[in-house]
A and B are shown apart, each in its own frame.
Chain A
Amino acid sequence: MKKILALALALTMLCAASLALAEPITLQLWSIATESDSSHQAFVDAIAAFEAEHPDIKIEHSPTENEAYKTKIKAAMSSGTELPDIFFTWGMGFLGEFVDAGRVVCLDDYYPAYADELPEAMTVNVRYDNKMYGVPYTMSLVTLYANMDLLAQVGYDHIPASYEEMQACCEALKGAGIIPFGVSGKELWCLSEYVEPLVIKSVGGDKLRDMYNGVASWNDEGVIKAIAAFQEMVTKEYFDPSAAALGNDEVKNNFIAGKYAFYQNGSWNNKDIGEQAKFAVQAGTFPVLNPDVTLYQMIGGPNNTLAVTETCEHKEEAIEAAFYLAKYFSDADYKSGANLPCWAADPKAEVGPLIVSAADMAAKADNMVLFGDNFLSADAANTYLDYIGLAYALEVTPEEYAEGLDADLK
């Protein structure tokens, strides 16, 4: 009897202990994948899959709209309390300030386990002093979307391959009453999607990266040439004359509605344009300005990233979750055609034609330099964008632009 009692007692204790152990851990995840975001479903599915494999861990996902998210994560980082365990971030400058303040966990000890699936080249934008602080999942490239139906009207069956051909094409389009390029002059980052390809195709990727890093001077022949070309596009009215008053949403809708021949923006637009445009679309890249520079010097790179906070209670679990989710998103966004994967992609996946061209460009890329406003720290990035705005409004000459950036980005 005693034995049975003791056994029963031991059993209950064991049960109790295991129950206590099974008390689930909750991880907070902040992101910008709101319900109308094209990657929202990927977040929901990935979390469900992770929770199914890890019954002792729960992930609580709080998405916030893009612009509001920036304010929110900065405020939380600034107070250092009430931080999530895992958070969405952009690489380089944005994550860099949090890393600098010691708010982010270094992932060097954990990365080797995933190195086969996540190539080291994809982690360049989340490394600071060569230490890795984030898990990238998708990358974006500046893409030149072309309305082939409109181009056909002026006799082009391909995206112009040289700068001269591009100019001739724009003149022909203008002659036919078609606006060559759609851009939002109100949202400065959209202007940078035009300026940066011109710059990289004039000075080359290595030099541009050195300029962002403050190693090379902005006061450079190539920069001046690129800005002169950009301002020429403005003065010759290759851009929508109403651009200064339009937001990016309107411009994108105008392009989808067939109002412009070209729209140059990030490859995250692949899905929307591919699904909504009722004309033949091709995705390509802007021709080179300087014949010494190769065509596939690209603006963009791995950018969307998950990182783990230093204040996180269950670091091991959070880091495992971050890698798991990142891999899942990388796959899901690629398959849905939303964006390019950072992780090794399933070669058999059936994807849309635009994402195929984007993947093709990524594969051919000799060099990828991240968007300037992501690369630079917040203060410098806004000064940089201000100059792009001034160049667009023709309030600075190309020379003043180059000198000004050189002086003010120190």
Chain B
Amino acid sequence: MKRPFSYKLNIFLFLLPALILFIGVLIAPIILSGYYSLTEWNGLKTPVFIGLANYRELFSSKSINIMRALKNAMLLAVFSCFIQLPFALWLALKLSKHIRGERVFLSVFFMPVLISTVVIGQLWLKIYNPDYGVLNMVLRGLGLESWTRIWLGNKATALGACFVPILWQYVGYHMLLMYAGIKGVPPELNEAAMLDGCTEGQVNRYIIIPYIRPILRVSVIFAVTGSLKSFDLIYVLTNGGPNHATEVPSTLMISMLFLRNRYGMGSTIAVMLIVLCFAFALLINMAFKEEK
């Protein structure tokens, strides 16, 4: 194509609305946060520049214990990649095989994604309730009295109990993405493979999964970055408790900002989170490219 004289100007004009929004609302605040992260600031008085002291405190303070928060988030990412995504893929593969009620299943599985986190949080609080919660009631009914726990109040079980609803809610989301990808596989490929005598499992493994790699990559990126910045459900279920056992970086950040009035330290955690999310997104991209 020939380039008209005003080509560059037009490119700029097309990008302008998105750039204004993006830079004004996302990038500028990050830069501001970057500055705040170098200050001691209670949100009221003028910020006092203290260099990297917040970063040093963040990684050395035993009471903040950022490593525990990061470990929790990484654990969630691992569960997400190795349990949630495979299950979503299994559902997507099943549904794409024209089973009866395909549409109904698809719609129902996606439904939890639509429901407000407040509702889901309240539901699971009731499920885990030690006295009249569904989970303990079922265990008692099965004669497994000794298995009952104070799920969200016990340090040993709280983290796992938080992960279950988080993983549960977004299965439908990943499933729909993957289902969409599978439906995009040219039917000729499948038919050819079937004619060659491939079993269903082999078709899945050698035709479909390689074909939907780009979508799997997107799913993995969402699962990992989503885990790193996970907040809402943990906030509703335990708010980082008991005694910080379920703390993740976002809950730490919010308590620094709004409970402790430490805007400088809160911004430090924000900056760390952004850097981490970005680094992981890049890493995953590279991993998927190399395998190709």
- Indicate which residue in B42, B131, B154, B261 contacts A244 across the interface (CB closer than 8 Å): B154
Q: How far is the CB of B268 from chain A (nearest CB, A)?
A: 15
Is B261 a contact of A378 with CB atoms below 8 Å? Answer: yes
Taking a contact as CB atoms closer than 8 A, the residue among A74, A241, A390, A408 that contacts B243 in the complex is A390
Contact flag A245-B128 (CB < 8 Å), given A97-B44, A98-B44, A100-B45:
yes
Q: Residues of B contacting A244 with CB < 8 Å?
A: 150, 152-154, 242
Option from B42, B152, B255 in Cβ contact (under 8 Å) with A245: B152
The stretch of A200-208, A217-225, A362-370, A379-387 in contact with B is A379-387
* Choice from B43, B129, B241 contacting A389 with Cβ under 8 Å: B241
CB atoms of B261 and A185 under 8 A apart:
no
Alpha-carbon distance between A269 and B44 when the two chains are bound, in angstroms: 33
Q: Are A378 and B259 in contact (CB under 8 A)?
A: yes
| Cα(A100)–Cα(B42), bound, Å | 11
Whether A103 is near chain B, meaning CB under 8 Å from some CB there, is: yes
The chain B residue with its CB closest to the CB of A71 is B258
User: Which of A71, A242, A383 gathers the greatest number of chain B CB atoms within 10 Å?
Assistant: A242
By beta carbon, the residue of chain B nearest A97 is B44
Q: Is B259 a contact partner of A389 (Cβ separation < 8 A)?
A: no
In angstroms, Cα B46 to Cα A101, docked, is: 9
Complex formed: what's the CA distance from A98 to B42 in Å?
A: 10
Please give, as numbers and ranges, the residues of chain B lying within 8 Å of A78 by CB-CB distance: 43-44, 263
Which listed residue, B42, B63, B129, touches A408 by the CB 8 Å rule?
A: B63
| Minimum distance in angstroms from A1 CB to a CB of chain B | 66
Contact between B43 and A241, CB atoms less than 8 A apart: no
Within 8 A of A (CB), among B239-292: 241-244, 255, 258-263
Name the one of A98, A242, A393 contacting B155, with C-beta atoms under 8 angstroms.
Answer: A393
Of all chain A residues, the one with the shortest Cβ separation from B254 is A71
- Are A185 and B44 in contact, with the CB atoms below 8 A? no
Docked pose: A242 CA to B150 CA in angstroms = 6
**8 Å CB contact of A74 from B43, B152, B238:** B43
Do the beta carbons of A386 and B63 come within 8 Å of each other?
A: yes
* Residues in chain A near residue B44, CB distance under 8 A: 77-78, 97-98, 100-101, 103
Name the contact of B261 in the complex, choosing from A241, A379, A395 (C-beta under 8 A): A379
Residue contact A382 to B259, C-beta cutoff 8 Å: yes
From A74, A383, A390, contact of B258 by CB (8 A): A74
**In the complex, are the beta carbons of A378 and B260 less than 8 A apart?**
yes
Determine if B155 and A70 form an interchain contact, defined as CB atoms under 8 angstroms apart: no
State which of B45, B241, B259 has its C-beta within 8 Å of the C-beta of A186: B241
Q: Is B151 an interface residue (CB 8 A)?
A: yes
Contact among A71, A97, A103 for B42, CB-based, below 8 A: A97
Minimal Cβ-Cβ distance residue in B for A80 = B44
Measured CB to CB, the closest approach of chain A to B28, in angstroms, equals: 16
Interface string of B111-153 (1 = CB under 8 A from A): 0000000000000000011110000000000000000001111
Residues of B within 8 A of A389 (CB): 241-243
- Nearest B residue to A101 via CB reads B44
Determine whether A345 belongs to the interface, using a CB cutoff of 8 Å to chain B.
no
Q: Is there contact, CB below 8 Å, between A382 and B130?
A: no
Q: Choose among A71, A97, A185, A242 the residue that contacts B131 (Cβ–Cβ < 8 A).
A: A242
Residue A154, interface by CB 8 Å: no
B151 to A245, Cβ gap below 8 A? yes
CB distance from B121 to the nearest CB of A (A): 12
Interface members, chain A 235-274 (any B CB < 8 Å):
241-246
Bound: A70/B259 CA distance, A: 9
Interface bits B11-30 vs A (CB < 8 Å: 1, else 0): 00000000000000000000
Complex Cα distance, B238 from A98, in Å, reads 30
Beta-carbon nearest neighbor of B154 in chain A: A244
Chain A, residue nearest B241 (CB): A186
Complex alpha-carbon distance, A390 and B153, angstroms: 13
Chain B positions within 8 Å of A379 at CB level: 260-262
A378 to B155, CA, bound (A): 26
Given contacts A77-B44, A101-B45, A386-B63, contact A241 B241 (CB under 8 A): no
Contact across chains for A97 and B261 when beta carbons are under 8 A apart: yes
In chain A, positions 365-410 with a C-beta closer than 8 Å to chain B are 377-379, 382-383, 386, 389-390, 393, 395, 408
| Distance of A95 from chain B, by nearest CB (Å) | 12
Contact of A242 among B42, B130, B241, B242 (CB under 8 A): B130
Q: Is the CB of A70 within 8 A of B128?
A: no
**Distance in angstroms between the alpha carbons of A382 and B239 in the assembled complex:** 13
When each residue 74-92 of chain A gets 1 if its CB lies under 8 Å from chain B and 0 otherwise, what string results?
A: 1101100000000000000
The residues in B between 69 and 99 inclusive whose CB is less than 8 angstroms from any CB of A are none
Q: Decide: A393 and B63 in contact? CB cutoff 8 A.
A: no
Contacts of B242 in A (CB 8 A): 185-186, 244, 389, 393
B contact residues around A98 at 8 Å (CB): 44
A186 pairs with B153, CB closer than 8 A: yes
Other-chain residue from A71, A77, A245, A383 in contact with B150 (beta carbon distance below 8 A):
A245
List the B side residues contacting A246 at CB < 8 Å: 129, 153
Chain A residues contacting B262 (CB-CB under 8 Å) are 379
Residue of A nearest to B263 (CB): A78
* Residues 195 to 228 of chain B near chain A (Cβ within 8 Å): none
Least CB separation from B41: chain A residue: A78
B-side contacts of A74, CB under 8 Å: 43, 258, 261
CB distance from A192 to the nearest CB of B (A): 14
Which residues of chain B are within 8 angstroms of A70 by Cβ–Cβ distance?
258
Q: How far is the CB of B156 from chain A (nearest CB, A)?
A: 12
How close is B204's CB to chain A, nearest CB, in angstroms?
Answer: 42
Q: How far is it, in angstroms, between the C-alpha of A248 and the C-alpha of B244 when the chains are bound? A: 19
Residue of chain A at shortest CB distance from B244: A386
**Complex contacts, B128 vs chain A, CB 8 Å:** 245
Q: Which residues of B contact A241 (CB under 8 A)?
A: 130, 150
Residue in A closest to B133 when the chains form the complex, CB atoms: A245
Q: Which residue of A lies closest to B255 (CB)?
A: A382
Kindly list 9 other residue pairs between chains A and B, CB separation below 8 angstroms, not including A386-B63, A389-B242: A70-B258, A74-B258, A74-B261, A75-B43, A77-B43, A97-B261, A244-B152, A245-B129, A379-B262
User: Residues of A with Cβ closer than 8 Å to B?
Assistant: 70-71, 74-75, 77-78, 97-98, 100-101, 103, 185-186, 241-246, 377-379, 382-383, 386, 389-390, 393, 395, 408
11 contacts between A and B (CB under 8 A): A74-B258, A97-B42, A186-B241, A186-B242, A242-B131, A242-B153, A378-B259, A378-B261, A379-B262, A386-B243, A389-B243
**Chain B residues near A (Cβ < 8 Å):** 42-45, 63, 128-131, 150-155, 238, 241-244, 255, 258-263
**Top 3 A-B pairs, shortest CB-CB distance:** A244-B153, A101-B44, A245-B153
